């Protein structure tokens, strides 16, 4: 009998697992249910996009999955660590070493240079990247020669490259990105998404992206559809047209 086929190791382990995650926000006469029992398994090395209209819970999903916020109930496991069982300080330490986050709207520090912004996660953790890695990273995101610029001297596409380099500097296992191309024109957005996909591949990372843009989602291997805080189906290796058709099919 022929041996069982072996998948590449990176495909056989789980990078992120959510189990029945509920997140409610207090406020108003009744709490807002932003996530209504979300479960998901992301294999290591995968590129998954989560799509949904504004207010569907995308940012809430991402901040809970990345350990930036704590779900009201349910479990979030990154690698083999249950974040929901850790103290807030332990989650912060875990996140610094294992998770990269690209925020909606870059979140760069205006008075720090490009290189200082990129180093920031390590500075906060009390360490420094070796300069060879910093140079490799800046080159990988197409920022060579710009390391001494201030954020105010950058285009939107360049600022997003800085935010991506900053998310990658600690060599995280998983990179989460919240609408990373929402403020960019179409061709710049495509370049940024190709960059995220290629750096994830090159550095062996898992990539989870949320977006409301079918064109952005179609860069992923798998697209999950979120509506009213619940997953409502998925597509594997879809084209932009297939994603757009599904979005219309959801009546949005």
Residue 213 CB, shortest distance to ligand ADP, in Å, is: 12
Q: How far apart are CA 212 and CA 77, in angstroms?
A: 25
Q: Which does 160 bind (CB under 5 to 8 A by kind): Mg ion, ligand ADP, none?
A: none
Question: Which is closer to Mg ion, CB of 58 or CB of 166?
Answer: 58
Q: Does 206 bind ligand ADP (CB under 6 A)?
A: no
Q: How far apart are CA 29 and CA 83, in angstroms?
A: 30
**Interface with ligand ADP, residue 55, by CB under 6 A:** yes
Residue (63 or 199) nearer to ligand ADP, CB: 63
Interface stretch with ligand ADP, choices 50-58, 94-102, 111-119, 169-177 (CB under 6 A): 50-58
Binding partner of residue 57 among Mg ion, ligand ADP, none, CB cut-off 5 to 8 Å per kind:
ligand ADP
Report the residue number, 37 or 142, with the smaller CB distance to ligand ADP. 37
Is residue 60 a contact point for ligand ADP (CB under 6 A)?
A: yes
Smallest gap from residue 64 Cβ to ligand ADP (A): 9
Out of 59, 117, 158, 205, the residue judged to bind Mg ion by CB under 5 A: 59
Q: Does 180 bind ligand ADP (CB under 6 A)?
A: no
Whose Cβ is closer to Mg ion: residue 59's or residue 181's? 59
- Please, which residue, 30 or 54, has the CB nearer to ligand ADP? 54
> Under the rule (CB under 6 A), what is the footprint of ligand ADP?
25, 27, 32, 34, 52, 54-60
């Amino acid at each position: 009998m022929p041996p069982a086929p072996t998948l590449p190791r990176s495909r056989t382990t789980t990078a992120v697992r959510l189990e029945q995650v509920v997140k409610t926000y207090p406020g108003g006469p009744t709490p807002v249910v932003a996530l209504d029992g979300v479960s998901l398994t992301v294999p290591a090395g995968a590129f998954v996009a989560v799509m949904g209209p504004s207010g569907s819970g995308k940012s809430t999903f991402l901040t809970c999955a990345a350990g930036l916020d704590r779900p009201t109930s349910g479990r979030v496991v990154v690698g083999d660590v249950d974040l929901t069982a850790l103290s807030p300080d332990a989650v912060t330490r875990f996140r610094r070493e294992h998770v990269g986050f690209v925020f909606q709207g870059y979140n760069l520090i205006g008075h720090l240079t490009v290189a200082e912004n990129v180093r920031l996660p390590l500075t906060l953790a009390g360490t420094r990247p070796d300069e060879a890695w910093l140079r490799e990273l800046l080159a990988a995101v197409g920022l060579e020669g710009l390391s001494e610029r201030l954020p105010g001297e950058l285009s939107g596409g360049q600022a997003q490259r800085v935010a991506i380099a900053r998310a990658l500097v600690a060599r995280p296992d998983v990179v989460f990105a919240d609408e990373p191309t929402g403020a960019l024109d179409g061709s710049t957005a495509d370049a940024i998404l190709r960059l995220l996909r290629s750096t994830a591949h090159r550095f062996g990372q898992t990539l989870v992206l949320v977006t409301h843009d079918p064109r952005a989602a179609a860069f992923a291997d798998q697209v999950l559809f979120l509506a009213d805080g619940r997953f409502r189906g998925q597509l594997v290796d879809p084209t932009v047209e297939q994603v757009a058709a599904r979005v219309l099919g959801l009546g949005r």
